[in-house]
Amino acid sequence: MNAIKETHFNFEGQTGYYKGKVRDVYTINNKFLAMVVTDRISAFDVVLPEPIPFKGQVLNQIAAKFLQATADIVPNWVLTVPDPSVTIGRICEPFKVEMVIRGYLAGHAAREYAAGRKQVCGVSLPDGLKENDKLPEPIITPTTKASVGHDEDISREDILEKGIVSEADYVQLENYTRLLFKRGTEIAAAQGLILVDTKYEFGKVGDTIYLIDEIHTPDSSRYFYSDGYEQRQASGEAQKQLSKEFVRKWLIENGFQGKEGQTVPEMTPEIVESISERYIELYEQITGETFVKPQAGAVIARVENAINNAIAAL
**Strands of the chain, DSSP E:** 14-19, 23-28, 32-37, 42-43, 46-47, 78-83, 86-90, 93-94, 97-104, 119-120, 123-124, 134-140, 143-144, 193-205, 208-212, 221-225, 241-242
**What residues form DSSP beta bridges with 199?**
100
Q: Phi and psi dihedrals of 266, rounded to 5?
A: -60, 130
pLDDT beyond 60 at 151:
yes
CA-wise closest residue to 180 among 225, 134, 142, 211:
211
Average pLDDT rounded to a whole number, residues 97-124: 92
87-106 confidence digits (pLDDT tens): 999 999 999 999 999 999 99
Q: What is the pLDDT of residue 208?
A: 97
pLDDT bucket at 178, cuts 50 / 70 / 90: very high
Q: What proportion of the chain, given as a percentage, has pLDDT over 90?
A: 83
Q: Phi and psi dihedrals of 50, rounded to 5?
A: -110, 135
Q: What is the pLDDT of residue 304?
A: 96
What does pLDDT average to over the chain? 93
CA-wise closest residue to 270 among 249, 240, 250:
250
pLDDT beyond 70 at 149:
no
Average pLDDT rounded to a whole number, residues 161-186: 97
pLDDT beyond 70 at 1:
no
pLDDT beyond 80 at 142:
yes
270-313 confidence digits (pLDDT tens): 999 999 999 999 999 999 999 999 887 789 999 999 999 999 99
218-249 confidence digits (pLDDT tens): 888 999 999 999 999 999 999 998 888 789 88
Q: What is the pLDDT of residue 296?
A: 76
Least confident of 27-36, 107-116, 220-229: 107-116
pLDDT beyond 70 at 148:
no
Cβ atoms of 268 and 278 within 8 Å: the answer is no
Structural domains in the chain, CATH included, are 1-95+165-314 (3.30.200.20)
